[in-house]
Amino acid sequence: MLMWRPCHRSCIPVAHSSSAVAEAAPEQQVVPLYSGKRAVVVGAGPAGSTAAMFLARQGFAVDVHERRPEPKQDAVDTGRAYIIILIPRGQAALQELGVPLPSQREFITKGTVRHNKKGKIGISREEGNVTFSRSSLAQYLIDQARQRYPAQITFHFNSACAGVDIPQRQVSFSVAGGGRVQQQYDLLVGADGAGSQVRQALQQHYPDMQVSIDDSGREYKVYGGVRGDIEPEEFRRDPGATLHLWSSDDPWTTVTAHSNPDGTYSGTFSLKTGGFSDLKTVADYEALLRKKFVGVPDDWLPVIAEQAAASTPSPAGKRVRCSRLDGPGVLLLGDAAHAVTPVFGQGANSALESCKVLGTVLTEAGGDVSQVPQRFTSSRLADMHALNELDAKAYSFFRRRGLLDPDFLQLLSHVLLGTILSKLLPFLYGRQPALLKLGSTTPYSIIIAAVKRDSLMAAVGFAALGVWLSLKLAVKVMAGV
């Protein structure tokens, strides 16, 4: 759970598919409180399309603008497609909207196979999660939005945000052919990624707004189309999606593979940022792969090397922290507001959860659109700051300073003490440490509070033990005098 998982949730290419969906739970009916109001959503990724559906459900007419082509027509997006595994946190938003999820076994996650640097294998089962590629999830949600709200949601592709006039409630877009269009809005939703133009407009409007952006320190290249018999016996008995993680002698260098519905495997080759610049030829790539990894199928290595040498690296995520998520008539969600790295697999899932929070806030505001942005910040900011802190602490596993690293020590003490208390006092403590509940809908603020509480309890316990041992030793010394 605490090891780097760059592609479990966020960075493995996988074949597109939106077929074979299960029966959806009935959509929760709401009174459309915002009829006659217009919302503009910037960004048509999973967060933007999901937010559009929550807005349309409440009566808004919604225009969604995306700077890229539609995913199914975007060769760049398709080529860099990475997987998103929807856990209960992300699934809850789609369930509330009545959006069905795939039911075919090859889309249902079975678990993860870890291959260590010595070739030994470890297996963890993770039933119940659903696998998409990022681009296929984006396209699927676009299709769902069009199908469910054909008269209310309009998508505009190749339409890049060129400026926001917050006082005038106006946003402009650069469109294909060099033109520019302007739109008035009652509510503007910035779901335009870690480099958000909407967020930049908010920063200009609020000079004291604080935004920090940290890089993951990793970059990756993708490969695909390989086949092989790599599944352990436990996963051969029934079909399903699996993830393989190969680690090396340093935490930054990994290879991953994810099973695709067509029987092939796709994956990533990751290095510390800048590492790919030292590799000049296909032979250099293959030599490094053979040096670093044990257990990657031998016939895969030339294929991975050739495909990686022909592509450019992509950054493996950023961490964004904002001091506020709103302004007059404006709010931020998804990576624009709270991007995280892939280490815990929370990026897309936290973004969809933010959309669900938006749906709740729309109801609570009772049709008064002016209340929505500030209410959204009040409802979401603490959890997003908590997630940012958890994500940052997880990087102690890459620094490898061990017990000298306070973040590592805090996480370790929480998991160890939490495991003991969950066995001894499950009726008081719960059945597992809070950090292991990231896949659930437990609020991030509750998880980080538990981490800090347990680490403090462990520190106090060790200090008390130290004092007791010191006193006991002092008594023995005095007795011997």
| pLDDT tens per residue, range 416-430 | 998 999 999 888 888
What percent of the chain is predicted at pLDDT more than 90? 64
Is-contact 256 245, C-beta < 8 A? yes
Q: What is the model's pLDDT at position 317? A: 86
The more confidently predicted of residues 285 and 85 is: 285
What's the CATH number of domain 38-385, 3.30.1320.10, 3.50.50.60, 2.60.40.10, 3.40.50.12780? 3.50.50.60
In 3D, which of 370, 342, 347 has the Cα closest to residue 34?
Answer: 370
Closest listed residue to residue 228, CA positions, set 183, 260, 181: 260
Task: Tell whether the model's pLDDT for residue 4 goes beyond 50.
Answer: no
CB 272 within 8 A of CB 251: no
Q: What is the pLDDT of residue 31?
A: 79
Q: Chain-centre distance of CA 468, in angstroms?
A: 45
What would the mean pLDDT of 2-31 be, rounded to a whole number? 47
pTM comes to 0.89
Tokens of 164: 């926001």
Res. 209 pLDDT band, cuts 50 70 90: very high
Residue 108 DSSP code: B
Min mean pLDDT across 81-85, 153-157, 272-276, 336-340 is at 81-85
For residue 128, what pLDDT is reported? 80
CATH 3.50.50.60 residue ranges for the chain: 38-385
**C-alpha dihedral, 267 to 269 to 270 to 275, nearest 10°:** -160
Q: Which residues of 223-253 are buried (b: 16+ CB within 10 A; e: fewer)?
A: bbebeeebeeeebeeebbbbbbbbbbeebbb
Highest mean pLDDT among 10-14, 83-87, 284-288: 284-288
- Determine which helix (DSSP H) or strand (DSSP E) holds 306, and give its type and residue range: helix 301-309
Short-list 315, 75, 364, 99, CA closest to 215: 315
Distance CA 300, CA 303 (A): 5
* Enclosing H/E stretch for 149: none
Q: What is the mean pLDDT of the chain?
A: 89
